[in-house]
Structure 1
Amino acid sequence: MPYVSFQKDVKYRGKLHTLPEVKKSITQEWADAIIFAVVAATLIRWLIMEAYTIPTPSMENSLLVGDFLFVSKFHYGTRTTTTPLQVPLTHQKIWFTDLPSYVEWIKLPQYRLPGITHVKRNDVVVFNVPPRELNEYKDYPVDLKTNYIKRCVAIPGDTLRIIDRQVYINGKAEENPPLMQYSYLVVANNDISERILKKYKIYDYEIVGRPGDGVVYQMFLTEELAQELKKLNFVREVKIATHNGSEGFSTRTEKTVEPNIFPDSKTFPWNGDFFGPLVIPAKGMTIPINEKTLATYGSTIKLYDHNDDVKLDSGKLVIDGKEVTEYTFKQNYYFMMGDNRHNSLDSRYWGFVPEDHIVGKAFFIWLSIDRNADFIHKIRWSRFFRIIE
């Protein structure tokens, strides 16, 4: 039908009158349908749920590269945007271009609508990664910064410590994710066949040496899988090991210092396996200002705690031209880590996640595609509609 007619009777001066028909062309019908679909999708994406994909192995094996998941906005409460003039259904850029998807002619304050819960320890959370260097060195608005997904291991007010890879919160060992991975060195007699690697679903690996008649692999494995590989007759050794700069592959100790560790390797000689203790800032928490606290929290206060004019100089904190001797945090912060603990760029290396950077709670997987599999086995059917824990 090329036209749809609308007719309505109205009463005027005691008489019934028929209004003229309003006809819509097919083009108008399609335009209305598209506008309705875009508006509905935008509201659902903003208020309720948004689709994401896993591009990197930092959360393996809990989440796999190629997993497509829905992230709930209503759990923690959705945020209002700061840049309302934006192309619908885009993030930083217009599809397939390098053109910004937004303009800052109008900038609004950001608010969070009420949610049904708050971020808890062990929640898998999507957030806007704070550091500028992880956002193409661009000053994106908070809600348009690059999306990361990690597990929340510490919440506001917690004291975090990592001892020999084990996370401790407030002095108590935390339960580890069941599919948590680490970096292992696997020494085999010969090159391990593709058939064996596929059988054990080992895709994240590389050959790092060929000493004598052996082959040394770096693999990211769960502890259970590492124990299985030890039983293979052609495997000589399987041991935890991480890449430690110029020293090559070795096991981190308390004396190992990673130069890129948070907050500052000069003041805090830590590494990803031996870290802390570190107190996570909470809204309303007050700290004294000295060289150590500024080394720990100075960049957070300056960059993320909503202060306009902050200067850090020789153990002094100057805000709006006035030196302060103590500081009270204006919002909550969180500490995020990937389940692939030796292959994750997370809070151990760039710091706290501010509450206003939280996007939502990872909810469930709706599709999973194995890019390393053949066409018949491309889809991981067993992962469909799996709740993320």
Structure 2
Amino acid sequence: MSVTSIPQKPQQTRQKKSGFREWLDSVVFAVIAATLIRWLIFSAFVIPTPSMENSLLVGDYLFVSRLHYGTTTPVTPLQLPLTHQTIWGTNIPSYFDWIKLPQYRLPGFTDIKRGDVVVFNLPVEHPDAYNKYSSVLPDLHPHPLDLRSNYIKRCVAIAGDKLEVRGGQVYVNGTAQANPVRMQSEYFVSTTTAVNEQNVFRKNGITDFSQFTETFNDTIASNDESGYIIKTTSTLVEKLRDLDFVKRVEPIHTSKGLKEPYLFPATDLLYWNKDNYGPIDIPKKGVTIPMNELNIALYGEVIKNYDGNDDLEIKNGKILQSGKALTSYTFRQDYYFMMGDNRHNSADSRYWGFVPKDHIVGKAVFVWMSIDPDPASFVNKIRWDRIFRIIE
């Protein structure tokens, strides 16, 4: 029996990639992988302002989990990878808003809870809102929903809660809430003499202070009493009270009934300030409210700009739809109330309102690096005690 051999297919020699091609392939793969991780799993952020002190410090680098609450799909797909609003080191926009897609949120494994430290897109960069808040946040610019500036605050009230601040203390549904461990407030420190600011304040981690020599008001300082106005934690306040040249330390709170300018909402119907705010109901999906004068002041902007209503207008104290005044309204998504832990130095929901759920980016998980922007020496530039600190 004869066997006929099958001719083998001639082997083709694969052309070897050039060094530049291999480098380019590696870069493309790295960019795609980094973009997917940044969008789907976690993102890295740095703290630029002191609004969350003393929980988070300027120069803290942190990881934010997008998995906790579920990541959102892009609204603005025409964007340079690994950028946010502008091309690195320039003011050139890194995106085109020619195409806008509907947003969807992928399933997460938890909901936002009171006390969570949350990163979100700043709502008032909405094209119809940013001009109104330029006195509070002077660098506002309009951006698409998914490309608005990233802010980080603590969620103090969730959808359906009734929030009130009394004398600086947050109450939710009538119950006083536990203050963050490192929450920072403003105090008057009365001293018998001028102090060495480096040894007394900076050495104890107090960086926000100013000398006080005039009568502030009768409840804080008496005539000719001198001292300092500081922002610090309650723990450090107790430490200051033990110093022999400190006569007393008193918290500074704005009196109830004293109206503070630039607060949300901008209305003459309410006399609120940062220390005495509310009560206010946080909008919840499915909840219906009557459209009276107060509710229009509180929720009109939310209904018009963030709840998917492009055909509404606020005119003469009324919300109009196709020229007809609404008598009631049912919210289409949940909202949250955010506050900074540095309670007297934070532009937060008290000044610009609620955060819609579709603006939520993720939960701040831990600090992976911390660099002091103004260290006493180069050796102390890295805050070693903050590396891999879990965010509480």
TM-score of the two chains, using structure 1 as the length reference: 0.90
- Name whichever structure is richer in strand by fraction: 1
Number of residue pairs aligned between Structure 1 and Structure 2: 368
CA contact (8 A) 1:135 1:145 kept: no
CA distance in 2, matches of 1:206, 1:294: 40
CA distance in 2, matches of 1:278, 1:193: 41
Corresponding residue for residue 369 of structure 2: 367
CA-to-aligned-CA distance 1:318-340 (integer Å, 9 cap, x gap)? 12333321101111100000111
Aligned AA (1:386): R
Q: What's the secondary structure of 1:187's corresponding residue?
A: strand
Corresponding residue for residue 340 of structure 1: 342
CA distance in 1, matches of 2:210, 2:33: 46
Asked if 1:327 is matched to 2:322, the reply is no
Corresponding residue for residue 275 of structure 1: 277
Aligned AA (2:294): K
CA contact (8 A) 1:285 1:329 kept: yes
1:1-389 equivalence runs, <5 A: 15-131=8-124, 132=130, 133=134, 134=137, 136-188=139-191, 189-209=193-213, 215-241=226-252, 251-373=253-375, 374-389=377-392
Measured after TM superposition, the shift of residue 136 of structure 1 is 3.5
CA distance in 2, matches of 1:206, 1:81: 45
CA-to-aligned-CA distance 1:84-131 (integer Å, 9 cap, x gap)? 111111111111111001011222111111111111110000011111
CA distance in 2, matches of 1:293, 1:210: 42
Measured after TM superposition, the shift of residue 214 of structure 1 is 7.0
CA distance in 1, matches of 2:345, 2:140: 22
Q: Which range moved further: 192-201 or 166-175?
A: 192-201
Measured after TM superposition, the shift of residue 372 of structure 1 is 2.9
Measured after TM superposition, the shift of residue 371 of structure 1 is 2.4
Q: What's the secondary structure of 2:301's corresponding residue?
A: helix
Q: What's the secondary structure of 2:206's corresponding residue?
A: coil
Corresponding residue for residue 4 of structure 1: none
**Could you say if the C-alpha distance between residues 135 and 254 of structure 1 is closer, same or farther in structure 2, counting changes exceeding 3 Å?**
closer
Measured after TM superposition, the shift of residue 236 of structure 1 is 3.1
**Residue segments in structure 1 that go unaligned for 5+ positions in a row:** 1-12, 242-250
Q: Which range moved further: 208-217 or 366-375?
A: 208-217
Q: What's the secondary structure of 1:15's corresponding residue?
A: coil
CA-to-aligned-CA distance 1:241-279 (integer Å, 9 cap, x gap)? 2xxxxxxxxx31212211222113511111111111100
CA contact (8 A) 1:52 1:68 kept: yes
Measured after TM superposition, the shift of residue 207 of structure 1 is 2.6
Q: What's the secondary structure of 1:360's corresponding residue?
A: strand
CA contact (8 A) 1:307 1:319 kept: no
CA distance in 2, matches of 1:196, 1:135: 34
CA contact (8 A) 2:188 2:229 kept: yes
Corresponding residue for residue 220 of structure 2: none
Measured after TM superposition, the shift of residue 216 of structure 1 is 3.2
**Could you say if the C-alpha distance between residues 210 and 172 of structure 1 is closer, same or farther in structure 2, counting changes exceeding 3 Å?**
closer
Measured after TM superposition, the shift of residue 213 of structure 1 is 8.4
CA contact (8 A) 1:210 1:216 kept: no
CA distance in 2, matches of 1:352, 1:213: 43
CA distance in 1, matches of 2:380, 2:171: 40
TM-score of the two chains, using structure 2 as the length reference: 0.89
Measured after TM superposition, the shift of residue 54 of structure 1 is 0.8
CA-to-aligned-CA distance 1:330-385 (integer Å, 9 cap, x gap)? 11100000111111111011100011111100011100112232111211111111
CA-to-aligned-CA distance 1:142-172 (integer Å, 9 cap, x gap)? 1111111000000000000111111111111
**Could you say if the C-alpha distance between residues 376 and 99 of structure 1 is closer, same or farther in structure 2, counting changes exceeding 3 Å?**
same
CA distance in 2, matches of 1:83, 1:169: 36
